[in-house]
């Protein structure tokens, strides 16, 4: 479950960076009143922590779950 949450947060961060790169529009900063606000910084930190967590996914073995 933690893996899925981290991936979801990382997707939000990736979409935000895509918007910054394509349109110079920071969605997180726009939603929370600027890039230096505490809420924006929390989101940026959560994205960074999610990215660090997702590094571990490269080293996990594939687990097959068989539904019976």
Q: What is the pTM of this model?
A: 0.81
Structure tokens at 63: 């687990």
> Distance between CA 56 and CA 45 in Å, rounded?
18
Over residues 4-8, the mean pLDDT reads 95
Give the model's confidence band at 62: pLDDT under 50 very low, under 70 low, under 90 confident, else very high. confident
Q: Where do the structural domains in the chain lie, given as residue ranges?
A: 2-59
- Mean pLDDT for all residues in the chain: 91
pLDDT of 68 over the 70 cut: no
* Orientation of helix 2-23 relative to helix 38-55, angle to 10°: 120
Kindly give, in sequence order, each residue whose CB lies less than 8 Å from that of residue 57, ignoring residues fewer than 6 positions away. Answer: 3
């Amino acid at each position: 479950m933690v893996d899925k949450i981290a991936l979801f947060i990382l997707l939000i961060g990736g979409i935000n960076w895509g918007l910054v790169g394509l349109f110079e529009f920071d969605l997180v900063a726009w939603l929370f009143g600027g890039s230096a606000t505490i809420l924006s910084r929390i989101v940026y930190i959560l994205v960074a922590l999610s990215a660090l967590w997702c590094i571990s996914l490269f080293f996990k073995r594939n687990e097959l779950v068989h539904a019976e």
